[in-house]
């Protein structure tokens, strides 16, 4: 399988064999679609996080539950992405949003990777032309249970639980969208945006490994990754794989699900 992170030179060499996916989305309410329309990588299709990579949220399941596999397959097919395609996804935030699509594809056996540096890595002229690919054949595949976690798993104490949110949200100093501030007791903060440098490119593998080791991850550790709604948590899972560690589990409901349950405790501070 293709490595989880590729650079723009690799993509250019593979240009006739890949589908570029623009997965921009903004927590502050800005339109990812509008950003795509204003300028995107030539040949890229727009993948809507809310419509394609999640189903409608609820307090019981969180803000971005994983979509039904059949619905996801149908939307991929409609975008012109098929079983045999290699998908290279990008955004303008170091891959923290696009990582959701890459994780979803990789865990179901599809070839997919993040474009290192995202939109900013491309030095050519951006396109404003919407690409319409022919409908493809994309086979539904169940989300692998061994790579998912639920609230009980996160509370069990048998995993290293990583919180991908920024430190202020982890510590409970701010909470812009979810019912309560804080984090899952026992979780360790590993902000996903610090997996990349100022240009949005992944840190060298030795530095990534040190980041994970500093929060207790070793080659034999079982890891659960969560965030606000199970989106940016995927970036830590991709970084984990990129750094050479065994695959971790995604907690899709994440803090948005946990904090909606008054029976679940919330920790604050470091």
Under 8 Å between Cβ of 181 and 268: yes
Residue 15 has pLDDT above 80, yes or no: no
Residue 102 has pLDDT above 90, yes or no: yes
pLDDT tens for each residue of 163-173: 999 999 999 99
Query: Does the residue 35 lie in any domain?
Result: yes
Mean pLDDT of 167-185: 96
Query: Does the residue 164 lie in any domain?
Result: yes
pLDDT given at position 71: 98
Q: Band the pLDDT of 17: cuts 50, 70, 90.
A: confident
Looking at the structure, tell me whether residues 112 and 154 fall in a common domain: no
Query: Does the residue 37 lie in any domain?
Result: yes
The boundaries of the domain holding residue 179 are: 145-258
Q: Band the pLDDT of 180: cuts 50, 70, 90.
A: very high
pTM score of the predicted model = 0.96
**Where residue 200 sits, what CATH number does that domain have?**
3.40.250.10
**Geometric angle at alpha carbon 195, from 200 and 52, rounded to 5°:** 75
Residue 38 has pLDDT above 80, yes or no: yes
Mean pLDDT of 61-82: 98
Looking at the structure, tell me whether residues 115 and 173 fall in a common domain: no
Looking at the structure, tell me whether residues 69 and 161 fall in a common domain: no
Under 8 Å between Cβ of 99 and 238: yes
Cα separation, 208 vs 193, in Å, equals 12
Residue with tokens 């699509």: 101
Cα separation, 58 vs 60, in Å, equals 5
pLDDT tens for each residue of 202-228: 999 999 999 999 999 999 999 999 999
Domain stops at, among 80, 106, 121: 121
Cα separation, 52 vs 79, in Å, equals 10
pLDDT given at position 130: 84
Query: Does the residue 264 lie in any domain?
Result: no
Looking at the structure, tell me whether residues 183 and 75 fall in a common domain: no
Under 8 Å between Cβ of 148 and 128: no
Looking at the structure, tell me whether residues 15 and 113 fall in a common domain: yes
Cα separation, 259 vs 270, in Å, equals 18
| Residues in a beta bridge with 40 | 127
From the candidates 227, 233, 234, 237, give the one annotated as an active-site residue: 227
Query: Does the residue 129 lie in any domain?
Result: no
pLDDT given at position 197: 97
Residue 1 has pLDDT above 90, yes or no: no
Question: How many CB atoms are closer than 10 A to CB 61?
Answer: 19
Exposure string of 25-41, with b = 16+ CB inside 10 Å and e = fewer, is beeeeeebeebbeeebb
Residue 16 has pLDDT above 90, yes or no: no
pLDDT given at position 54: 98
Cα separation, 156 vs 199, in Å, equals 37
Residue 113 has pLDDT above 80, yes or no: yes
pLDDT given at position 181: 98
Q: Band the pLDDT of 66: cuts 50, 70, 90.
A: very high
Residue 184 has pLDDT above 80, yes or no: yes
Residue 201 has pLDDT above 80, yes or no: yes
Query: Does the residue 109 lie in any domain?
Result: yes
Query: Does the residue 263 lie in any domain?
Result: no
Query: Does the residue 214 lie in any domain?
Result: yes
Looking at the structure, tell me whether residues 80 and 174 fall in a common domain: no
The answer to whether residue 234 is catalytic is: no
pLDDT given at position 131: 82
Mean pLDDT of 75-90: 97
Looking at the structure, tell me whether residues 73 and 172 fall in a common domain: no
Cα separation, 11 vs 88, in Å, equals 8
Q: Band the pLDDT of 12: cuts 50, 70, 90.
A: confident
Q: Look at the chain and report how many structural domains it folds into.
A: 2
For residue 236, CA distances in Å to 96, 123, 158, 231, 245 come to: 9, 27, 19, 10, 11
């Amino acid at each position: 399988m293709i490595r989880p992170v590729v650079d723009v030179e690799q993509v250019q060499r593979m240009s006739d064999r890949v589908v570029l996916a623009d997965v921009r989305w903004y927590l502050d309410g800005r339109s990812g679609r509008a950003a795509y329309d204003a300028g995107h990588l030539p040949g890229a299709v727009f993948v809507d996080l809310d419509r394609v990579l999640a189903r409608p949220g609820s307090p019981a399941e969180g803000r971005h539950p994983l979509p039904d596999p059949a619905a996801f397959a149908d939307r991929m097919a409609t975008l012109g992405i098929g079983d045999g395609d290699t998908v290279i996804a990008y955004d303008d935030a170091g891959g923290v949003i696009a990582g959701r699509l890459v994780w979803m594809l990789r865990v179901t056996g599809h070839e997919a990777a993040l474009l290192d540096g995202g939109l900013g890595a491309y030095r050519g002229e951006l396109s404003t032309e919407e690409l319409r690919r022919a409908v493809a054949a994309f086979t539904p595949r169940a989300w692998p249970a061994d790579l998912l976690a639920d609230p009980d798993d996160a509370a069990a104490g048998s995993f290293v639980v990583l919180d991908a949110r920024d430190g202020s949200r982890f510590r409970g100093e701010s909470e812009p969208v979810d019912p309560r501030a804080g984090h899952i007791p026992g979780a360790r903060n590993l902000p996903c945006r610090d997996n990349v440098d100022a240009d949005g490119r992944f840190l060298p593998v030795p530095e990534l490994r040190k980041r994970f080791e500093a929060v207790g991850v070793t080659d034999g550790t079982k890891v659960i990754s969560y965030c606000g709604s199970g989106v940016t948590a995927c970036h830590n899972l991709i970084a984990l794989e990129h750094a050479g560690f065994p695959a971790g589990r995604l907690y899709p409901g994440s803090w948005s699900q946990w904090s909606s349950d008054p029976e679940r405790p919330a920790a604050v501070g470091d």
